[in-house]
A and B are shown apart, each in its own frame.
Chain A
């Protein structure tokens, strides 16, 4: 073969969203979180692709779906460096890095079974904090417990 292909070619989508630079190990998590297994349209994904930024990355292309800000917050929680690209008629109309908000409301469950949010009709509310190793964590506004990203469960 004369021209050795080093890039993976995945079908371009006519209209929809590309989520790029997902940490490879979280590709399926993002997939499940956005409920893509129930999508009626074309969804393409790849994982363990080479990435200069991440080492290994995942990419997901979803036809005809554009995400709302709260869904983007969800993506940011498990893929804080992801790039979100919106495509219309094969053209990129918007390209931005997902932004992690300082606070996360209503989308994540508190890990503490005794937290008031798990026992009364109280919407969850977390602040994003960083521990002394610089690892991102969520601190519950109510029970004041902190939880690591591995423990998060979406509502």
Chain B
């Protein structure tokens, strides 16, 4: 029996394979009809302690399409955090005013802690460098939608595999679906062994590459990532690797027709703009899918769908 009602979502590993598929099925329903007015009596709190464009706006858009109301703040500077209020006090206060809290916070582990102190469910919209499970779910939704299945996918993960939290979550989730992982990164940004352990423990295979062109002919999905300067302890290291992988339209000639290029966005220069018009480019649709997935999560957790 799958029941997501009143359960916080902190990490993608909080959900089983069946629960992930359930959310994706509900999201598919919202893709068909995005404007179901089923949240009209609900207030969702959106607490963004650090800036975000896509995640915050897509959550807010998800709620508003469903007729719900949003309260909250878009940066810590406009909240009582500036006065020194603890995270616990903020959560306990806001839980008096809303039915569900969506939170982004720069501290690793803040979402797990918030879910422990909060009397209402929390959806983690990113806790520092740790987890971003709604991004993972929209990635899975996009893969299933474009490939027709989540099973047995050959996925190429490209760029910053060391610090990129979306990559780590995606590896954890796709390990449930018998994926084969093709890991393309500079030597200094390889996937950490703790994440590779997920693949091994699931009895699956991974292959490591330093050249992007090596994986293009056989990949079902090419998942590009930005090499994030802000995550590097050493700026010199960042300068060395920042332009390692740039996907250009001409490189896609040898790719499968069904292959799709995904990217969690924002991109800097790792996907040339000439790729945007290629039918294999899927990253803007992927961002749009985020609204359906977030609608699915909110309504499942509030017990309105599922």
Contact of B108 among A112, A121, A131, A132 (CB under 8 A): A112
CB nearest to A124 among chain B residues = B109
The number of chain A residues with a CB under 8 A from chain B is 18
Asked if A116 contacts B86 (CB within 8 A), the reply is no
B200, CB-defined interface residue at 8 Å: yes
Chain A residue numbers with a CB within 8 Å of B131 are 144
Chain B residue numbers with a CB within 8 Å of A141 are 109, 112
Asked if A143 contacts B200 (CB within 8 A), the reply is no
Contact of A117 among B86, B106, B109, B194 (CB under 8 A): B109
A139 to B127, CA, bound (A): 17
Smallest beta-carbon distance B73→chain A, Å = 18
Knowing A114-B128, A132-B200, say if A142 contacts B86 (CB, 8 Å). no
Asked if A114 contacts B113 (CB within 8 A), the reply is no
Knowing A122-B113, A143-B109, A144-B109, say if A116 contacts B87 (CB, 8 Å). yes
Asked if A143 contacts B108 (CB within 8 A), the reply is yes
A35, CB-defined interface residue at 8 Å: no
Knowing A121-B86, A143-B130, say if A116 contacts B109 (CB, 8 Å). yes
Interface residues on chain B, size class: 20 to 34
CB nearest to A141 among chain B residues = B112
A36, CB-defined interface residue at 8 Å: no
A145 to B109, CA, bound (A): 9
Asked if A142 contacts B109 (CB within 8 A), the reply is yes
Knowing A114-B107, A114-B129, A131-B197, say if A120 contacts B112 (CB, 8 Å). no
Mask for A128-150, Cβ within 8 A of B = 1, else 0? 00011000000011111110000
* Pairs A-B, 4 closest by C-beta atoms: A142-B109, A143-B108, A143-B109, A116-B109
A residues adjacent to B (C-beta < 8 A): 112, 114-117, 119-122, 131-132, 140-146
